[in-house]
Amino acid sequence: MIGRALVASVLALHLSAAPALAQAPVKCNPKRASPAIAESWAQRRLNVQRVWPLTMGQGVTVAVIDSGVDETHPQIHLAGKADLTNTTYRDCVGHGTAVAGIIAGQPRSDVPFYGVAPGVRLLSIKQSNDTSGDVSVLAKAIRAAADENADVINVSIEAQDQPDLKAAVNYALGRDIVIVAAAGNQQKDDGSSSPSYPAAYDGVLAVGSATPDGGRSTFSNPNAVAVLGPGQDISSTWTGKGYQSKLEGTSYAAPYVAGVAALVRARFPNLDQVRVRRRIMLTADGASGKGTGAGMVNPFLAVTMLLPSEQVAVAAPVPPPLPASAIRKAVPPDSRSMEVATAVAAGGLSLTAVVMAFWMIVPMGRKRGWRPGSRPAQTGATRGSGAN
């Protein structure tokens, strides 16, 4: 508890220099929470508990940039918090508390709800008192999360493209941070949609909403989607120490993927943010139509699947060459020894020839009684002796 308090105070101090914002009095009246919760289809579908024997996200820091987080909730433990609205740390919407619970809700035996990666260090950076907020404040929040050494940043917010927002995203990516963002919900009456930011920026893992059958929710923005996460009929923690059901939106799909990103970073600490995103996409369940990206995120495969190309990429470096003193120099040839060896070999061949000759001649001599051989007698007519 002392460690968490220290981290929280450091984070608050780091952000205290942010300029004050002119704010109207905040009405803090979130939707009433339910004291009970039922197990959602999302938990059954992802079944992240299969991954927990390998990792629960320990050692990974996840920053939630949202409407704040109710740290009094019994299933949420914050390691740090900051308020960029200059109002209060309190979550007056419930949205940030739900996102935080999906990522890191602590398991309890009496509640059928838990987060994807309950072992992570969770940071709350409040950037709004509603579900949108000022884009410039969002950019500051991303930079603040990067400066606090977050490994994963969850942004369940839709915004417009602005230079300071893009610069903040590039700043975080340059610090090797995985940014997971909601792809956005279609809001136009004619069904058309436009990209939402920061999800549509290069390098950001954009998440669309999935239905229980793995398809894309009708409200989910089809632009720039990398993967899907459960985002329809969702249950999660809520401000007021309770729970909320029937939640929907890509903003609730994103934290499922952010939790998986945390599990991957904990399991494979040597992977950079590019390869973490690549692993999540390559291990997803497969596309099923427009706006589905690589399909539903798959926590088990993301943490366990062997990717040959990745093994090559993260192979151990080639060892340095041995020092010159460790290599024995070649001995120069000894000409005298070579001459002696040649003479000995020649003598051996000569002796062998003598022995072979002796072995053949002696038996032949004994057979003739050591007498010289005689010419054989001629037989038949001689040349020119024909009859007249």
- Kindly give the interhelix angle for 273-282 and 250-267, rounded to the nearest 10 degrees: 110
Return d(Cα 217, Cα 186) in angstroms, integer. 10
- Residue 123: enclosing H or E segment and its boundaries? strand 121-126
Return d(Cα 1, Cα 278) in angstroms, integer. 36
Residue 240 tokens read as 């007021």
Q: Are 259 and 117 in contact (CB under 8 A)?
A: yes
Please give the positions annotated as active site. Answer: 66, 95, 251
Cα–Cα distances (Å) from 322 to 329, 355, 368, in that order, read 13, 54, 74
Residue 211 tokens read as 């239905």
Return d(Cα 375, Cα 242) in angstroms, integer. 130
- Cα end-to-end span (Å), the chain: 145
Return d(Cα 122, Cα 64) in angstroms, integer. 7
Residue 333 tokens read as 């040839």
Residue 305 tokens read as 């699947």
Q: Tokens 């020119």 map to which residue?
A: 384
Q: Are 230 and 41 in contact (CB under 8 A)?
A: yes
> Which amino acid is it at 307?
L
> How does DSSP assign 333-357, residue by residue?
P-HHHHHHHHHHHHHHHHHHHHHHH
CA dihedral sign of residues 262, 102, 167, 11: negative
Q: Are 254 and 154 in contact (CB under 8 A)?
A: yes
Return d(Cα 227, Cα 282) in angstroms, integer. 10
- Residue 57: enclosing H or E segment and its boundaries? none
Q: Are 208 and 225 in contact (CB under 8 A)?
A: yes
Which residues lie closer than 8 Å to 310 by C-beta, 6 or more apart?
271, 275, 278, 279
